[in-house]
Amino acid sequence: MEIQHFSHHHPLVFIQDHSVASKAALCLGCDKPVEGWSYGCNQCEFYLHKGCAELMSVRVGQRGRPSNFNVSVIHILCSYNIRPLQLFALGINHPYDRKHPLTLLPQPLTHPQKCICYLCRIQWKGSVYSCSLCKFDLSLDDFLFSPPTITVASHEHPWMLVSRKMSFVCDFCGTGGDHSPYHCDTCVLFVHKNCISLPRHIMITRHRHTISLSYSLRQIQVEDWMCKICYEEVDINYGYYRCPASRCRYIAHVRCATDKEIWDGTIMPEGYDERSEEGVDEPSNLITDVVEQIRIGELMVASEIKHSYHDHNLRLTFSGKTKDDDSECDGCTRPISTPFYSCEQCKFFLHKDCAELPKEMPHPFHKHLLTLSNFSIEYGYSWCDACDRLYQGFSYRCYKRDCDFKFDIQCMLLSDTLKHPSHEHSLFLVHNNKGTSCSACFRKLRSSNVAYRCMKRCDFSLDVGCATLPLTAWYKYDRHALTLTYSDDSEPSQLYCDLCEKEREPNDWFYYCADCDNSLHLNCAIGDLPYVKLGNKLEYFRHEHPFTIVKNIWNCPPCKVCGEVCSGQALECKESECNFTVHWDCCRYLRRII
């Protein structure tokens, strides 16, 4: 069976069991996932729920219009005397607006950029029923699925629909509404329809315990009413999520806790045993086997282990690391420091903390549980979705369907709050950072970037890449450690790098030694690839052979591309027909030369 819908130029075919293998399709009418019966055009990947499609359509080949549809053409007049848009519409009377018929408008409206009409000032997706005279809009979800009475197990009384335009503040989420709340007469509560179905108990990666919905002042006695997600005050006259644990003071706004970037939709059942949430600390969640133990004081410490990501046993050592020792951890690729495990047969090292990382771990950067992996073994390297850097070694990955987030170990050590020496106030983690810039590198942040913002609203932000910069670095001509420095009041003639001898921007961060008065660019101090291990192989699609990661200190060769010396970290092709060295940033131009 086919229908011709006004919003699409091809006939729509009836689909009895809708399923899309790659990812869930959204209904172009109500912007919700399409499941079950639907109509669709596979050629254009255009889909509508059966109910949304039949709101206004005519069967293919049928003359005239069905008698139960009152179809007309409406004109939406926009400003600046442009030609009005002509759209099919369905006039329907509804108790939400008793004075005028509501008009069905499709998506999208191709208004001019500076249009000031009402529909261009509101935010909506999919089709809506609208009354331009009353400045009132109603989504298909509200129109089709708003029964006069709703009964749910989480509330002992029925909810009654108030079918009229009225302003109210939802008693559950604390945000405003402008029409048709649901009302509990016994409890004297007004709520959004969607808030009626808010789950009582949920689990988020921002907190280790289950958090529960509360909307009564008598249920909680805490002094700190600050939301632990957005760090703004929680008005306890309305609903909020809190941790029921007696010694835990975690609290969050309803909208913050149920944000799609924070919560994955998992609902915890009534009577859930909190002790089962301690599974991440149990030995079964580790990927190491203890071979031998020794006693240090009152503690038993594993002196020899078998790690899942290495073929040989690893022995614990307490020998320290010196400046000239380039040994690096194969887990986090940072310089080795005490204590660490090492392999007696090959150059494999693991910090003790990296060897004891749990197999599964929640993290506030991502809403799903993450799994430890050695993903870079197959490809030679990976890209961290938090700091946006190339890295080798271990990572935590999300294996949920259509979700391929991965973080390096350094980023996994971060929490949802950060105290960074570059700013006087504490910073909190924010997921949607569209329109903001990093205060350190001035990079424009995308909506998908996680970043840290100032809790005091100082207009200070740090992206994760800048937040994870090492606080100290070494320079081959300096016997002291260089310190990460955030401002420079030197004369313009003094703003240069002592390694590459190029100018430095006065507002850029840099590494500095006060004893020797040495200043270095960030990349000159830590290298272009600070999170890869020297000596490892790296496959690059613009060159036929694998590169070896090297660190040149003396007699630095010239770069194959730019001709400048490859001082410090670089990539080397050791094949006899190539035998050249190249900067990482110059690799993109290799095809033009070779």
* pTM of the complete model: 0.74
For 497-553, the DSSP string reads -TTT--B--TTS-EEEETTTTEEE-HHHHH-S-TTS-TT-EE--TTSSS-EEEEEE-
Distances (CA, A) of 436 to 228, 319, 459, 461, 469: 21, 45, 9, 8, 20
Q: Please indicate whether residue 326 or residue 569 has the higher confidence score (pLDDT).
A: 569
pLDDT band for 335, please (50, 70, 90 cuts): confident
- Confidence grade of residue 69 (pLDDT, cut at 50, 70, 90): very low
For residues 198 and 214, what is the distance between their CA atoms, to the nearest angstrom?
11
The answer, yes or no, to whether residue 87 has pLDDT greater than 80, is no
* Percent of the chain whose pLDDT exceeds 90: 30
- 249-261 average pLDDT score: 92
Residue 460 neighbours by CB under 8 Å, 6+ apart: 423, 425, 427, 439, 453, 454
Picking from 79-83, 105-109, 234-238, 241-245, which range would have the lowest pLDDT averaged per residue?
A: 79-83
Confidence (pLDDT) at 403: 84
pLDDT digits (tens, 9 = 90+) for 400-438: 877 888 999 999 989 999 999 999 999 999 998 888 899
Residue 423 CB neighbours (<10 A): 19
Closest CA to 23 of 315, 346, 344, 401: 401
What's the rounded Cα separation, in Å, for the pair 307 and 312? 8
pLDDT score of 306: 93
Question: Helix %, strand %, coil % for the chain, to 5?
Answer: 10, 35, 55
**Lowest-pLDDT range, 191-195, 321-325, 546-550?**
321-325
Q: Specify whether the CB–CB gap between 527 and 534 falls below 8 A.
A: no
| 374: amino acid identity, one letter | N
Using pLDDT thresholds of 50, 70 and 90, give the confidence band for residue 273.
low
Give residue 134's pLDDT: 59
Backbone angles phi, psi at 91, to 5 degrees: -80, 120
Q: How many helices (H) and strands (E) does the chain have?
A: 11, 43
| 44: pLDDT strictly greater than 60 | yes
Other C-beta atoms closer than 10 Å to the C-beta of 239 total 23
Q: 583: exposed, middle or buried (C-beta count within 10 Å: 0-12, 13-18, 19+)?
A: buried
What are 442-464's pLDDT values in tens digits? 999 988 889 999 998 888 999 99
The tokens describing 179, both together, are 């029409």
DSSP tag of 168: E
Tell which residue, 105, 159, 110, 152, has the closest CA to residue 127: 105
pLDDT band at 376 (very low <50, low <70, confident <90, very high): low
Q: Cα(104)–Cα(138) distance, rounded to whole angstroms?
A: 9
Q: Compute the mean pLDDT over every residue in the chain, rounded to the nearest whole number.
A: 79
459 Rama class: left (phi>0) / alpha (psi -120 to 50) / beta: left
pLDDT given at position 116 = 41
* Concatenated DSSP letters of 188-211: TEEE-HHHHT--SEE--TT-SS-E
Give long-range contacts, CB 8 A cutoff, 24+ apart: 144-150.
Answer: 144/30, 144/51, 144/52, 146/180, 146/193, 150/182, 150/193, 150/196
Give the mean model confidence (pLDDT) for residues 73-94. 33
Q: From CA 24, how far away is CA 16, in angstroms rounded? A: 16
Q: What is residue 206's predicted lDDT score, i.e. its pLDDT? A: 92
What are the start-end ranges of the H helices in 274-419? 352-355, 376-379, 409-412
> Which tens digit of pLDDT belongs to each residue from 26-37?
777 776 778 778
Flag whether pLDDT at 574 surpasses 50.
yes
293-320, pLDDT tens digit by residue?
888 888 888 999 999 999 999 999 886 6
Exposed / middle / buried, residue 361 (Cβ in 10 Å: 0-12, 13-18, 19+) = middle
State the Cα–Cα distance between residues 334 and 70, nearest whole angstrom.
70
| Full 3-state SS string of 452-474 | EEECCCCCCEEEHHHHCCCCEEC
The DSSP element (H or E) to which 52 belongs, if any, is helix 50-53
| Tokens 């399409």 belong to residue | 34
**Percentage of the chain modeled with pLDDT above 70:** 75
Residue 41 predicted with pLDDT over 70 = yes
pLDDT at 281: 46
Closest CA to 457 of 409, 425, 492: 425
At residue 528, φ and ψ (nearest 5 deg) are: -75, -25
Average pLDDT over residues 553-560: 87
Residue 377: the pLDDT is: 55
Per residue in 134-183, pLDDT tens?
555 566 555 555 678 888 877 889 999 887 778 899 999 988 887 778 99
Residue 4, pLDDT > 50, answer: yes
